[in-house]
Amino acid sequence: MKKIVFLFLILLCSCDKEKPKETLKGIPKEIPQEASYFKQIKANDVKMPEVVYGDWLYSRKEKGQTFDQYFRSKHIVPTNDANIIYIRPIGNFNSLQKRQIELTNEYLEIYFQLKTKTLDPIANDVVPNSARRMIAEGHEQLLAGYLLNDILKEEKPVNRIALMGLSELDLYPKPEWNYVFGLASYRDKVGVSSIYRLQDGKLTSENFNLCLSRLLKISSHEIGHMFGLHHCTNANCVMNGTNSMDETDRHSIRLCSVCQRKLNSCIPYDNKKRLTDLEKYFKRNNLTDGFDLMKKDLGVIQ
């Protein structure tokens, strides 16, 4: 019996340790003082729940990453030549799935405060028969490594800082594994993930918001890794590692105060504007959990 794959590689639980080639340039070595914004929203950080059997941290003793460690680390930063996040759909998406991709594009642009563009979809038939398999009637899988290495790594859209492929079909990493949620190369700033298992069998109007929330968490988490953020052990945070869909659902869509400070040191956006934009996005799309979290943060900043 093949083992069930609990390891998320691109979807929230992956943590590729490859270091990007780009280094911080022009950044002083002295650690900047913590701005009042981060001190204020720290009051809304929620303590991580007790780790239980099956959770990501149950079998992985991660030490986390302090702000000082992040600040002194090598990671990409936006430049005039690299400042656009790209999404590349792979497959044949229905109208509800296309809407989720549109909303993910909108979310990532707000979340990172960087221009985000969705490229035209590419067909599944770009994958040869040697890199695909049928595990049951109507259940086809694509080899994740082929999509990552032979397709996505070859793409060089203008001013790309990160590229995330989204496959409609299920993925597998090698023959002996049942499936994988995705793969990523943080060194190359490229990843591919599947929406297949995020959608509880079939995406409908009834489960649309739950599935969208999962996609937003996964997308922001993985691209966060591309900007050098490690898994968070500070609080309940979108950068927490996860072992299952249930654990993903229990994790917050919010970046904790420490991870927000890291991201803002990399991308110097206006924190209040970002927070306000996120609140409006969550309200507009009836994502009540996210809306309540942003409203609470806005309530403590001066």
Q: Which tokens belong to 155?
A: 């793409």
Residue 288 has pLDDT above 50, yes or no: yes
pLDDT in tens, 250-276: 999 999 999 999 999 999 999 999 999
Structure confidence at residue 18 as a pLDDT band (50, 70, 90):
very low
What's the pLDDT at 52?
A: 83
Report the alpha-carbon distance of residue 296 to residue 162 in Å, rounded: 30
Measured between alpha carbons, how far is residue 72 from residues 33, 134, 265 in Å?
14, 46, 11
Residue 12 has pLDDT above 50, yes or no: no
Q: Report which of residues 30 and 299 the model is more confident about.
A: 299
What's the pLDDT at 244?
A: 85
Which of 22, 50, 222, 279 is the catalytic position? Answer: 222
What's the pLDDT at 259?
A: 98
Q: Using a pLDDT cut of 70, give the percent of the chain over it.
A: 90
| Counts for the chain of helices (H) and strands (E), in that order | 9, 8
Fold for 36-300, please state it: Collagenase (Catalytic Domain) (3.40.390)
What's the pLDDT at 42?
A: 98
What's the pLDDT at 24?
A: 44
What's the pLDDT at 29?
A: 65
pLDDT in tens, 205-262: 999 999 999 999 999 999 999 999 999 999 999 999 988 889 999 999 999 999 999 9
Name residue 166's amino acid. Answer: L
SS3 59: coil
Q: Report which of residues 58 and 160 the model is more confident about.
A: 160
Domain map (residue ranges) of the chain: 36-300
Q: Report which of residues 25 and 115 the model is more confident about.
A: 115
What's the pLDDT at 47?
A: 94
List the one residue out of 243, 241, 239, 238 whose CA is nearest residue 229: 239
pLDDT in tens, 81-113: 999 999 999 999 999 999 999 999 999 999 999
- What is the chain's mean pLDDT, rounded? 89
Residue 148 has pLDDT above 60, yes or no: yes
Indicate if 106 belongs to the active site: no
What's the rounded mean pLDDT across residues 121-131? 95
SS3 296: helix
Measured between alpha carbons, how far is residue 132 from residues 27, 97, 152, 170, 174 in Å?
45, 22, 17, 10, 10
Residue 130 has pLDDT above 50, yes or no: yes
Residue 50 has pLDDT above 80, yes or no: yes
Residue 62 has pLDDT above 90, yes or no: no
Structure confidence at residue 195 as a pLDDT band (50, 70, 90):
very high
Q: Report which of residues 55 and 209 the model is more confident about.
A: 209
